[in-house]
Structure 1
Amino acid sequence: MDGRFVTVRAEVRTRAMVVQQKTGRTVQFEITADVRASLLAWLERRGGTVDDYAFPSRVDHADHLSTRQYIRLVHEWVTAIGLRREDYGTHSLRRTKTAMIYKATGNLGAIQILLGHTKIENTVRYLRVDVEDALELAEHTESESMRPRAERGRTCRDTSQF
């Protein structure tokens, strides 16, 4: 990742964009406060300028970290903390955040956008959504909408307080 895409005037942006290698599509993503702090600390330790790659190649520092080296690093980290490399990889890291968002919201459309998928079917397959998940969401939605309005909290159309 080119440093210019994650930094502006020595601050790490709250959002960044990348072009997916596989599809060529641009995908925007959030950089959380914890990640921004870690990234800023890394950029300061790494040295160089914001125009340099955030993660330079170990062979040619003018180039970026290769996909293969990234995979090797993740496998090393997973092994170093005592986990099985077969269970964790670069792809599972990508899936984790979107799976957490889906579990919290049930919003497949938002996940589709975050992943850069053009078809919702791909997002369903990617998240491994099954019939049980869908029925659970439907049940939760129905039970919430059947509760008396007073129990659900006020909405912006609720003018009874005025």
Structure 2
Amino acid sequence: MTIANLPAIRACRPAWNKGRVVGQKRPLMPKPLMPKHVWAIRVRLEIAENHRDLALFNLAIDSKLRGCDLVKLKVADIYASGQIKERASIIQSKTQRPVRFEITEGTRKSILRWMQEPLMVGSEYLWPGRFHERLHISTRQYARLVRDWVISIGLDPTSFGTHSMRRTKVAHIYRKTGNLRAVQLLLGHTKMDSTVRYLGVELEDALAISEAVEI
């Protein structure tokens, strides 16, 4: 009896991407702090008389700088003619493009108080390192400080990071005004697409802005 060569029967497997979201995924960005969180951290640092951390925290919020640029700020970048500048400008390490930022009155006062500390005598950098071979604090040390700040007010440290400092003020500016161009300039982004991704702007945001405008 001849046996026909029949094709093997294979079990049907589900597609590898069944039920999955494929394509580019949004990056996981640390959350911006809420205004109540900002004030809670400030109060704790003031009570502790931690002048360096208070000045660093305030300037991180105001400047919206990346951690790598914030830790390398020099006294001359923000101080001239015996006073703290109301506006300052630096060249960003990542893009090599200038970015300007404001320094509010409360931040100026905290920086002046920090500059009276013995550690600041003769220092070129605004946040000097505690070791001779380190001219300024490192980005890793800055990240540890941010972690300490958010833990001190009962927040989950895994939800916040140094980029939270950078995002906090612009997130609230965007929510209040819907002005993406202003946010782009404040962050020093070269492309609007970067700003849109950075803020996580969605269709719901666009619709909310549109609904608030009547013509």
| Common topology (TM > 0.5) | yes
Tell me the distance in 2 between the aligned counterparts of 1:61 and 1:37. 29
Partner of 2:189: 117
Tell me the distance in 2 between the aligned counterparts of 1:61 and 1:36. 29
Q: CA deviation at 1:75?
A: 1.2
Tell me the distance in 2 between the aligned counterparts of 1:118 and 1:47. 35
Partner of 1:155: none
Q: Mark the runs of 5 or more structure 2 residues left unpaired by the alignment.
A: 1-72
Cα separation, partners in 2 of 1:88 and 1:41, compared to 1, 3 Å: same
- What is the correspondence of 1:148-159 to structure 2 with a 5 Å cutoff? none
Instruction: Kindly indicate whether structure 1 or structure 2 has the higher relative contact order, using CA contacts under 8 Å at least 6 residues apart.
Output: 2
Please report the RMSD computed on the Cα atoms of aligned residues, expressed in angstroms: 1.7
Partner of 1:47: 120
Q: CA deviation at 1:81?
A: 2.8
Tell me the distance in 2 between the aligned counterparts of 1:47 and 1:131. 48
- What is the correspondence of 1:32-111 to structure 2 with a 5 Å cutoff? 32-45=104-117, 46-49=119-122, 52-60=124-132, 63-111=135-183
Q: CA deviation at 1:83?
A: 1.8
TM-score by length of 2: 0.62
Larger radius of gyration: 2
* Cα distance per residue 1:65-104 (max 9 Å; x no partner): 2111111111122223322111111101110101111111
Tell me the distance in 1 between the aligned counterparts of 2:133 and 2:103. 24
Q: Which runs of 4+ in 1 moved over 6 A?
A: none
Query: Is the Cα–Cα contact under 8 Å of residues 52 and 62 in structure 1 kept in the other structure?
Result: no
TM-score by length of 1: 0.81
